[in-house]
Amino acid sequence: MSAAEDAVRAANTRNAWALVTPALILLTFAASGPLLIVLVYSFLTPGQYGNVEWIFSLDAWIGILFTKDIFDETYKLADAHLTIFWRSVKLSFLTTVITFAIGFPTAWFIATRPPRSRALWLFLITIPFWTNLLIRTFAINEVIRNEGLLNTFLIWLGVIERPIQIVYTDVAVLIGMAYVYLPLMVLPLFAAIDRFDMRLLEAGYDLYASRWRVLRRVILPIVKPGIVAGSILVFVPSLGAYVTPRVLGGGKNMMIGNFIELQFGQARNWPLGAALSMTLLMIVMVALLFYVRAASKGSNPHG
Amino acid sequence: MADRSFSVSRIPGFAAVAILAFVILYLPIFTLVIYAFNASKSIAVWEGFSLQWFEAAWANRQVKEATLRSLIIASSASVIATTVATMAALGTTRRAAFKGQTFVYVMINQPLMVPEIVTAVALLIFFASIKVATGYQGLGYLIAAHSAFCVPFAYLPIRARLEGMDLSLETAAADLYATPWRTFRRVTLPLLLPGIIAGAMLAFVISLDDVVITEFVKSGGQDTLPTYMLGQLRRAITPEVNAISTALLVLTVLLLSAFFLLTRKKE
């Protein structure tokens, strides 16, 4: 390589860095950098009125899973914490399953419309996608609360006499999350199905495959990257959900997000809150790594 | 043999589920909007059409202040995010890959990957110490936080537009002895403008919608419209919240429609 080429390359790199630097400074200051502070705080001692004392301690990390007995100083599994983790994982998983069950037929339906109406159907999915999450949570609340649409309708039908208590239960949080995250499942599924070659279906039917067999052996394996992407896009925000459980779970049915907030509010245990945040972040990173691996496998036709 | 209506891409039951999905998606939103026009004080019974809740919301000083604050934050954040995102897009597209480019991508897209509650907590801790150190309590923190998480949303449409652009026009300008700056202002920028506007609008919507990070970063008396609405939960909800939601909803749909028109033109 000549010296001139080297010089051009160096100028190019300098130029590129000069252009990206303002963005990097902003993101370091108000997004990435503070995450490191959270990591540091998770190894400190809680202050009496919130904040921290600068004394090293592993208590916060131990406190995620265990509580110290006040009498004999032995560690026991913290049942209350485990309940919250289990609820978060269970509800996030169920949300993913429900959104897939509804989202896959929906994405298929949109992708098989004629091109003109397809754009309109897609737009109809995009509007809720971009609508304020809080507003959508309020909206689903209008339907499932005791005096809401669903209960009023069921009473009018005569199916029930008194309203079913849905809000402030786990079921309400589940319904709410499935409702608000459904578009996140439909969009990547649509993208995958849209690229699907429908002639493969003809081939399948020509070879006497049943509809179910074609769905299971031809369609699902090919659109798998879309399924993985949609599942991650739903599972990850569900796990960190804060607004929906707060509005529909009514404070009692906490998820990890609300539990973290509690540590920075009433519980005044910032280190525990920091350790919980880091744990949540690690789970999400593992899920994303899984996604990257699955996605790169998906690009290999025989993978 | 298959009947006349046999179509390979039709799977029985899928259309029904899809229609049901659209009903499920829109029924709650319509209910919310309809109850914004309810004459009754209770959110349970329908007593006829009225605009009183829009008037009540408009007359509410807190709502007015929160709206103004939301608009100030969203406009500032969208201008800042779009500016740095445009520069970053120019730095990362249409040139030879440079060392550290992956790091730059990860940094820019980081707000999309980290759970919002984690960022919120991180900023709470970080800004709390800055507040103590400097004594500054203003809107600057919220604007900085919003600008940062809006960057990837502004960056993506700008980058998409840049990648679809033809380099030959700029080469032609340079051949005609235009300075790099002149080439940028007279050729690149006008071509890029639809992408920049689209990015700015997405950033604006994202900032306007934010609840979690704002809830943790705001100082006392710095409610935005969404955090004000979340705060109303502690009291009995009145249709006033529905009226505010409806207004926000209309704004979002208008911005989105404009966004789609802008991005579709290039095809």
Tell me the average pLDDT across A12-40. 91
Regarding beta strands A52-53 and A75-77, do their DSSP bridges make them parallel or antiparallel, or are they unpaired?
unpaired
Tell me the average pLDDT across A46-58. 85
Say if domain B53-264 classifies as CATH 3.30.70.20. Answer: no
Are A232 and A292 a contacting pair, CB within 8 Å? no
Return the percentage of chain B with pLDDT > 70, whole number.
94
State the pLDDT confidence band at B267, using cuts at 50, 70 and 90.
very low
Are B115 and A281 a contacting pair, CB within 8 Å? yes
Identify the residue with better confidence: B154 or B237.
Answer: B154
DSSP conformation letters of chain A: --HHHHHHHHHHHHHHHHHHHHHHHHHIIIIIHHHHHHHHHTTSEEPBTBSEES---SHHHHHHHEEE-TTT--EEE-HHHHHHHHHHHHHHHHHHHHHHHHHHHHHHHHHTS-HHHHHHHHHHHHHHHHS-HHHHHHHHHHHHSTTSHHHHHHHHHTS-SS----TTSHHHHHHHHHHHHHHHHHHHHHHHHHT--THHHHHHHHTT--HHHHIIIIIHHHTHHHHHHHHHHHHHHHHT--HHHHHHHTTTS--HHHHHHHHHTTT--HHHHHHHHHHHHHHHHHHHHHHHHHHHHHTSTT-
Burial class from Cβ neighbours inside 10 Å (0-12, 13-18, 19+) for residue A68 reads middle
pLDDT at position B69: 96
CA–centroid distance for A24 within its chain: 25
Cα separation, A243 vs A134, in Å, equals 7
Residues in chain A with CB shorter than 8 Å from the CB of B44 are 147
Q: Closest residue of B to A209, CA-based?
A: B8
Report the gap between the CA of A30 and the closest CA in chain B (Å): 5
Cα separation, B112 vs A236, in Å, equals 11
A126-160 pLDDT per residue, tens = 889 888 899 999 999 989 988 888 888 898 888 88
| Residue found by looking up tokens 């290039």 in the block | B266
| Residue found by looking up tokens 């919002």 in the block | B116
| pLDDT over 50 (residue A36) | yes
Check A30 against B147: CB less than 8 A apart: yes
Tell me the average pLDDT across A83-102. 95
A214-273 pLDDT per residue, tens = 888 888 888 888 898 899 889 989 999 999 999 998 777 899 999 999 999 888 899 999
pLDDT at position A257: 94
Instruction: Report the residue from A15, A30, A128 with minimal CB separation from B123.
Output: A30
Check B80 against A26: CB less than 8 A apart: yes
B 175-234: CB under 8 A from A: 205, 208-209, 211-212, 216, 226, 229-230, 233
Tell me the average pLDDT across B222-247. 85
Cα separation, B121 vs A269, in Å, equals 12
Tell me the average pLDDT across B236-242. 78
pLDDT at position B148: 96
CATH code of A76-298, in short, is 1.10.3720.10
Report the gap between the CA of A28 and the closest CA in chain B (Å): 8
Cα separation, A4 vs A10, in Å, equals 10
pLDDT at position A65: 86
Identify the residue with better confidence: B238 or B126.
Answer: B126
pLDDT at position A297: 64
Angle at B40 between CA B35 and CA B44, to 5 degrees: 60
Least confident of A41-50, A97-106, A285-294, B18-27: A285-294
3-state secondary structure of B49: strand
Identify the residue with better confidence: A49 or A22.
Answer: A22
Cα separation, B224 vs B216, in Å, equals 12
| pLDDT over 80 (residue A8) | no
Please provide the average confidence, as pLDDT, over all residues in chain B. 87
Tell me the average pLDDT across B189-198. 90
pLDDT at position A301: 46
Residues in chain A with CB shorter than 8 Å from the CB of B256 are 126-127, 130
ipTM for the complex shown: 0.87
A166-185 pLDDT per residue, tens = 988 999 999 999 999 999 99
Report the gap between the CA of A135 and the closest CA in chain B (Å): 6
Tell me the average pLDDT across B163-172. 83
Which of B123, B125, B229, B122 lies closest to A246 in space, CA to CA?
B229
Residues in chain B with CB shorter than 8 Å from the CB of A130 are 205, 209, 252, 256
3-state secondary structure of B38: strand
pLDDT at position A303: 36
B38-58 pLDDT per residue, tens = 887 766 677 788 888 888 888
Angle at A263 between CA A240 and CA A37, to 5 degrees: 75
| Residue found by looking up tokens 């002895």 in the block | B177
Cα separation, B87 vs B92, in Å, equals 9
For testing contact with chain A, the best of B7, B19, B25, B254 (most A CBs within 10 A): B25
B73-91 pLDDT per residue, tens = 999 999 999 999 999 999 9
Q: Rounded to whole angstroms, what are the CA distances from A81 to A65, A243, B260?
A: 7, 19, 45
Report the gap between the CA of A67 and the closest CA in chain B (Å): 23
pLDDT at position A135: 93
pLDDT at position B158: 92
Instruction: Report the residue from A127, A133, A179 with minimal CB separation from B256.
Output: A127
Are B21 and A182 a contacting pair, CB within 8 Å? yes
How many pairs of residues across A and B have Cβ atoms under 8 Å apart?
253
Q: Does B157 touch chain A (CB under 8 A)?
A: no
Report the gap between the CA of A83 and the closest CA in chain B (Å): 20
| pLDDT over 60 (residue B3) | no
pLDDT at position B4: 46
Q: Domain ranges in chain B? A: 53-264
Phi and psi at A44, nearest 5°, equal -115, 180
A185-200 pLDDT per residue, tens = 999 999 889 888 888 8
Return the percentage of chain A with pLDDT > 90, whole number.
42
pLDDT at position B46: 76
